[in-house]
Chains A and B, each alone.
Chain A
Amino acid sequence: MTEPVVVLENVDMIFGEGAADQVHALKEINLQIEQNDFISLIGPSGCGKSTLLRVVGDLIQPSSGVATINGKSARQARLDQDYGIVFQAATLYDWRTVAKNVQLPLELMQFSRSEKDRRTQAMLELVELSDFASHYPWQLSGGMQQRVAIARALSFEPSILLMDEPFGALDEMTRERLNLELLDIWRKTDTTVLFVTHSITEAVFLSTRVIVMSARPGRITADISIDLPQPRNAETRSNVRFFELETEVREALRLSEGSQDPEGTPA
């Protein structure tokens, strides 16, 4: 068995530590993610899902505890360019065309010119936007922009894809289509995905495991394995097991909301 991709040990995150209004965002987080896992983080607003994602991606440093990524520190993993990140907003650079946006990480990582072009083309094909290569971001719909962001995150084949509510701002139809596209890409690329979402349906449909979190302080309250058959497709949604798992996650969420830690700061 290969070593886990992500190992979090006793991670605590306290913002404004010592101050009267300190926020205990994460408490005693222990989590292990295996190669090729698709993990969803789900929980009420303010439960620290995004904070946890940022700790894994070394965009913030935990107050205590250790994050080990691919057997090294999170910082080293970031410097080694192990992460592809997709936010809720596409965060494309307005002054770059679609193709140039996809190329941004490739430029920074000094890929050769031919390799840059090859990968950009391949990525745009993967997200079905080849015809829009020379468009500017404002000329695309929200869903298309998000697909560009995904293409950008995957272009340099990062070992971990961190996604912070990537489809949260999209309409239901677009979201379902992009869910399928994302699964397709995940199968083709061997990436490990850490996915933050508000949607129970989305979490169950996409994931191999769903991690349920509670708010203030953010803790892991349930870890549900999703044993739906792969590959998932439109029929998966009508599978009886799908509904059972949805109910299980919903129940876990309800329980976690009732279990507010007395030490936590009030809302």
Chain B
Amino acid sequence: MSESRQRIWAPVFILIAIVVLWEALVMAFNIQQFLLPKPSAIVGNLVQIVVLDSSASTGDSGDKVSLDKGFFTVLPSGLSSEDQAALEEARWFTFSFGGSRVSVMRGSNLTPILAASWFTLKEALGGMAMGTLAGVAVAIATTRWTATREALLPFAIAANSMPIIAFAPIMNNWFGLDNPFSKMAIVTIMIFFPIMINTVRGLFSVDSRSLELMRSYAASDTEILIKLRIPNALPSLFSGLKVAGALAMIGAIVGEYFGGPRIALGVFITQEAALFRFASAWAAILIACLIGITIYLVILVAERLALPWHPTFRA
């Protein structure tokens, strides 16, 4: 087996082994479903609440339009023009599958779990965008005013070892429980420091010869920043972003544990757990994990595209 194939298959094998062992142990010791559901039950529930039906979750069961129960909807033929118009509005896009036309419905028609995931993802990404912008901006400012760096770094390091999530209830009070900005604010603060510290490190860890070279060309500070410091900082900025990606989902979900709108992943998990619907809670946790991994992978791909020259990608 070649090394690259081994690198792919070894973790897959371990994952399968863990899942099988989990399933076997739950059955062997007859563990109660509400304590620890079987993986098969979690996945089954996941499929149910994501794709098919909302009844397994907290969904409003009183929905009138039968068509918007699922994420995917098969269009029956012979609809009235009124229904047709309503569908057109709700539909995201349509494709043909096995002879029938399948519509993928837009946001408002998502099952609650998907709507909640989408909502929480937006919070995480919004916070990440703001935290990254702020962190990079402050880091660049420190190259201009070195005093800023000296003054800020101790705080940054101290803040980095603080449990920032503890501010969640305060942010909820400031911006309102249902306002996604309350979670974005937590994520922003959580992300700010790792991004800033990493970027500062990259901006300043410039080879002294490279600087002398710039000086010999009589380059201005701005030119040194743009042509030398910023490209030099990109690899550490990406390291910061990878940390930030994980923190962003944690910040958003834990922030929601302290309260939020009903269609939010953290609220969904706490509610399902409170109602002893543990398989649903576990399914939601699984989705949160998948989102976190996806964010990480997107950053990884972006890194590869942005830094084709970097040593880690050398063949």
A→B interface (CB under 8 Å): 54, 57, 59, 78-81, 83-85, 87, 89, 91, 93-96, 104-105, 107-109, 136-138, 162
Contact = CB atoms under 8 A, between A and B. Distances in A.
Contacts of B309: 94-96, 136-138
B289 interface: no
Q: 5 tightest A-B contacts by CB?
A: A91-B209, A95-B231, A136-B309, A85-B216, A79-B218
A84 B218 CA distance: 11
A13 B100 CA distance: 86
A87 B214 CA distance: 13
B213 A91 contact: yes
B218 A81 contact: yes
Contact of B310 (A81, A84, A94): A94
**Interface bin, chain B:** 20 to 34
Contacts of B232: 95
Given A93-B210, A105-B217, A138 B231 contact: no
A128 B30 CA distance: 75
Contact of A78 (B207, B209, B215, B228): B215
A138 B314 contact: yes
Nearest to B209: A91
Contact of B216 (A57, A93, A94, A136): A57
Nearest to B306: A95
29 contacts: A54-B212, A57-B216, A59-B212, A59-B215, A78-B215, A81-B218, A85-B212, A85-B216, A87-B209, A87-B212, A91-B207, A91-B209, A91-B210, A93-B210, A94-B309, A94-B311, A95-B231, A95-B309, A105-B217, A108-B217, A108-B218, A108-B219, A108-B223, A136-B308, A137-B309, A138-B309, A138-B311, A138-B314, A162-B216
A104 B227 contact: yes
Contacts of A104: 217, 227
Main secondary structure of the interface of B (DSSP, over half): helix
Contacts of B234: 95
Interface in B127-143: none
A81 B209 CA distance: 17
Nearest to B210: A91
Highest count of chain B CB atoms <10 Å: which of A80, A81, A94, A136: A94
Interface string B90-109: 00000000000000000000
Nearest to A106: B217
Contacts of A96: 309
A93 B206 CA distance: 11
Nearest to B224: A108
Contacts of B227: 93, 104, 107-108
B156 interface: no
Contacts of A80: 218
A93 B311 contact: no
B311 A81 contact: no
B228 A93 contact: yes
A85 B216 CA distance: 7
Contacts of B314: 138
